[in-house]
Amino acid sequence: MDQVSEFFGGLFSTSGFPPRWHCGRWTELHGWLYVASDITIWLAYFIIPTILVLFIQRRRDIPFLPVFWLFGAFIVLCGTSHLVDAIMFWAPAYRVNALVRLATAIVSMITVVHLIKILPQALSLKGAVAFDLERSRRIEAERELESARAELEVLRRQLAKV
């Protein structure tokens, strides 16, 4: 229990850990490549959920909506871990990094459980080919119905003359 209180008590403390620049032998190229890559990944991991939210707001008929939200949370947390990794070159926030990774792990597993639960339902959804085929059949049926109505109208007029 002492380790837990020590961990959370020093959550934002960087004492006891050197900045990543001082761990090993980082060259400028290697270090900045690492930082730039992590920041770019973080940026993408925040843009992707933003696009998901915009999609969800515009399409209210989305099946499995909770899974979209879980994916968004998972992606944001993954991105946050990359951002913290980049920051650790100057501020060794290993405790914060551990907490972000724990949150990512928990949300990841919740997402996996939800995906397993909805998989049979998701697999039973019609695909684009099935929708196109059904649409074509309906259009053809509507044409046949219209043709039959026209023939019926002709017959009705002929009977009215008799």
CA distance 109 to 128: 30
**Per-residue pLDDT for the chain (162 aa), expressed as one digit of tens each?**
788 888 888 888 888 888 988 888 899 999 999 999 999 999 999 999 999 889 988 987 888 888 889 999 999 999 999 999 999 999 999 999 999 999 999 999 999 999 999 999 988 887 778 778 888 899 998 999 999 999 998 888 888 887
| 8 A C-beta contact, residue 17 and residue 92 | yes
Query: CA nearest 11: which of 91, 78, 79?
Result: 91
Residue 47 has a pLDDT of: 96
Residue 41 has a pLDDT of: 96
Residue 70 has a pLDDT of: 93
Tokens standing for residue 2: 């002492």
Tokens standing for residue 26: 């980082």
The residues near 152 (Cβ < 8 Å, ≥ 6 apart) are none
Residue 162 has a pLDDT of: 74
DSSP 79-147: HHHHHHHHHTTTS--HHHHHHHHHHHHHHHHHHHHHHHHHHHHHHTS--HHHHHHHHHHHHHHHHHHHH
What are the residue ranges spanned by the domains of the chain? Answer: 2-125, 126-162
CA distance 92 to 84: 9
The residues near 26 (Cβ < 8 Å, ≥ 6 apart) are 20, 34
Angle in degrees, 0-180, between the axes of helices 28-58 and 65-87, rounded to the nearest 10? 160
Residue 14 has a pLDDT of: 81
Residue 64 has a pLDDT of: 86
| 8 A C-beta contact, residue 63 and residue 125 | yes
Residue 131 has a pLDDT of: 78
The residues near 8 (Cβ < 8 Å, ≥ 6 apart) are none
